[in-house]
């Protein structure tokens, strides 16, 4: 059994007020792996993006956390399903 930590960057794209906003999200995933299998109970994630800037620029954007969470979940699934985390 080993503990694995992977870091990668994904992007969120929002269409707002005739403007397309694309920003990076830094993701860190930590999990336990045994015989090539990932233990779902051990999966921990952290992600970071410039939320304060986005909320200042787009104060009416109330669902930002929900949108980013969904993007991070999809990125983690894609990253873990690809051998070596490479695309």
Query: Per-residue pLDDT tens for 27-85?
Result: 999 999 888 788 888 899 999 999 999 999 888 888 899 999 999 999 999 988 765 54
Q: What is the pLDDT at residue 18? A: 85
State the pTM of this model. Answer: 0.82
Q: What is the pLDDT at residue 86? A: 44
Q: What is the pLDDT at residue 82? A: 65
In this structure, what DSSP letter does residue 6 have? E
Domain boundaries, the chain: 2-85
Buried b (16+ CB within 10 A) or exposed e, 14-36: beeeeeeeeeebebebebbeeee
């Amino acid at each position: 059994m080993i503990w694995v930590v992977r870091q990668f960057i994904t992007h969120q794209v929002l269409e707002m007020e005739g403007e397309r906003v694309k920003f990076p999200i830094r993701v860190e995933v930590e999990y336990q792996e045994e015989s090539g299998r990932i233990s779902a109970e051990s999966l921990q994630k952290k992600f970071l993006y410039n939320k304060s800037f986005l909320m200042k620029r787009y104060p009416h954007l109330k669902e930002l956390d929900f949108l980013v969470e969904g993007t991070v979940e999809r990125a983690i699934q894609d990253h873990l399903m690809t051998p070596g985390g490479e695309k």
